[in-house]
Structure formats: structure tokens, C-alpha cells
Amino acid sequence: MRAPSGPEVAVGDVLLSVENVSLSFGGVKAVSEVSFDIRKGEIRAIIGPNGAGKTSMLNVINGFYHPQEGRITFKGETRTKMRPYEAARGGIARTFQNLALFRGMTALDNIMAGRTLRMHKNIFWQLLRFGPAMTEEVEHRRHVEEIIDFLKIQEIRRTPVGRLPYGLQKRVELGRALAMEPELLLLDEPMAGMNMEEKEDMSRFVLDVNDYFGTTIALIEHDMGVVMDLSDRVLVLDHGIKIADGTPGEVKSNQAVIDAYLGVAH
């Protein structure tokens, strides 16, 4: 189900496929033999109670955690182990549940940092600064400014992010992820801790990113209203196991999901 105002993006082939992935820490099994896929251009929600393994799943896709079992296929290439920068280079970007901004830097610098992969002028030019390095800097600055306009955070460009209110910090983090021009954007509870208005803004941003850039999005979220409105398909995890996978409508009426997570309306 999609919000009525946005145009439908044609959902295409499988972009990412997770096969039988299991992940343990010490004795704790965070994820057990989970398989699912994400199609190009869709918004995929991952929901489930706390501790279900949702963030761990994202971390596996990112290459931050290496699963003990299973494989991941991204853009046709299959791997058992992905290194974080390989994921980044491949076009995966993400935001974090607990915010992982570079607190010592301004909002602008944080988002510029997202352009690092695309900046190539070597140390010799960097030492000189004027010339090719400056040209490159300006070119990327222009791109970053577009993102800043998109997210409406012009006023806080030069503010050190540590001083920003929580909602704005989340926007800067989104901006940083967008700066990577990702094909797959992983959002870990982007609405957490936000009020109604902020949630609407963020939902709008998510939809716009998907509509205008065609970015595939995987989204962990607890707000059911948001999930139902935004996503094309929903994956439900509980205690590390997949208990449902389908459209929002299918998942909402799935008994197992209701028992584990949604509860019954009183």
C-alpha cells in the first residue's frame, strides 16, 4: 500500500537476496535461518518486537556482522562475508538506531563525508588545495547542498551536530546516507523518538527519496501506521525467526504476527 499522493515506482528485479542467514553472539542466536529478498525500487519494512534481530539483520547486510551461516546476494554477486566498505562501494548506505553522526563535525561536514567514496584527488592535490582539489570539493559541495535543500536543513549547516536537537540530527544522518547516492538505503528506526509532525516530515522524505531517486529502501520501524502507509512489503521477525513476509495487508491479518507483536484491538 502506498501513500496516495506519490507516483508508483515500478518495482523490479531482486536487488538483494538473503538466504538462510544465521548469526550468533557468544551463545545468543540473534538471527536464525532467515531468508527474504528486496526488490529494486520498493520500500521494504522489517518489523518485530524488540530483540527480534532486526538491527542485526541490517548489520549483516551492511557487512558489519558476519553471519555464521547463509549467504547474501547483492546485485547479482553472492557473498558469505561482506566487508563494510565493500557494501558501501556497492551502493548500500544506512542510518542507525542510536545515531552514528560524527559529533565533532558540522552538519555540512558530516554530509560531505558521505561523498568521500566519490572524491578521488590524491594527497598531493589535497596538500595544495587550490586547483583540482578545490574544484572537486566545490562540485561535491553543490551536490550536498541539493540534499540540504531537500531535507530543509539549510540553517544548521555550520552547526556542530552534537548541539542539534534529536530530530534534526536524524535528518542530517539521512542526508549523509543520501550523499552516498545509494542503490539500497537501510534505515534503522528513522522515526524513533519523533513527534507526529516530525514523523510526517520524515515519512515524506522517505517517500520522496524512493520516488525521485528510485532508491530501494529497507526500513525498520515500530510505528505501524507508518509501516502500513509507506511500505510495499513487510518482513516480520520474532526472536530471530521470520514469522511472516508479504504485503502490509497480508501481514496485518496474519495470526502469528498478531500474537507476537501487533496484539488485538480492544
Query: Which of 70, 114, 190, 240: binder of other proteins (CB under 8 A)?
Result: 114
Backbone angles phi, psi at 36, to 5 degrees: -165, 175
Outline where DSSP puts E strands in 116-181. Answer: none
CB-side exposure of 164: number of CA atoms within 13 Å? 27
Which residues, 6+ apart, have CB-to-CB distance to 260 below 8 Å? 48, 49, 236, 238, 243
CA atoms of 68 and 236, how far apart (whole Å): 21
Query: Which of 5, 27, 76, 98: binder of other proteins (CB under 8 A)?
Result: 98
- How is residue 195 written as a grid cell? 513527534
Cβ 187 to other proteins, closest distance in Å?
13
Beta bridge partners, 216, equal: 184
Interface pattern 134-173 for other proteins (x via CB under 8 A): x-xxx--xx--xx--xx-----------------------
CA atoms of 71 and 130, how far apart (whole Å): 46
**Residue 75 lies near other proteins (rule: CB under 8 A):** no
Cβ 102 to other proteins, closest distance in Å?
4
User: What does DSSP assign to residue 68?
Assistant: S
Query: Which of 39, 49, 64, 229: binder of other proteins (CB under 8 A)?
Result: 64
Cβ 26 to other proteins, closest distance in Å?
8
Q: What is the CA radius of gyration of the chain?
A: 19
**Residue 133 lies near other proteins (rule: CB under 8 A):** yes
**Residue 127 lies near other proteins (rule: CB under 8 A):** yes
* Segment near other proteins (CB under 8 A); pick from 95-103, 195-203, 225-233, 247-255: 95-103
Q: Which of 74/96 has CB closer to other proteins?
A: 96
Interface pattern 36-55 for other proteins (x via CB under 8 A): -------------------x
Cβ 150 to other proteins, closest distance in Å?
6
- How is residue 252 written as a grid cell? 496485518
- How is residue 38 written as a grid cell? 528486496
Beta bridge partners, 19, equal: 71
Site for other proteins in 204-263 (CB under 8 A): 208, 212
CA atoms of 161 and 260, how far apart (whole Å): 38
Beta bridge partners, 44, equal: 218, 233
Cβ 141 to other proteins, closest distance in Å?
5
Query: Which of 128, 163, 193, 214: binder of other proteins (CB under 8 A)?
Result: 128
| 46-62: b (≥16 Cβ within 10 Å) or e | bbbeeebbbbbbbbbbb
Residue ranges binding other proteins (CB under 8 A) = 25-26, 55, 59, 62-64, 84-85, 87-89, 93-94, 96-98, 100-105, 109, 112-114, 116-117, 119, 121, 123, 126-129, 133-134, 136-138, 141-142, 145-146, 149-150, 176, 180, 208, 212
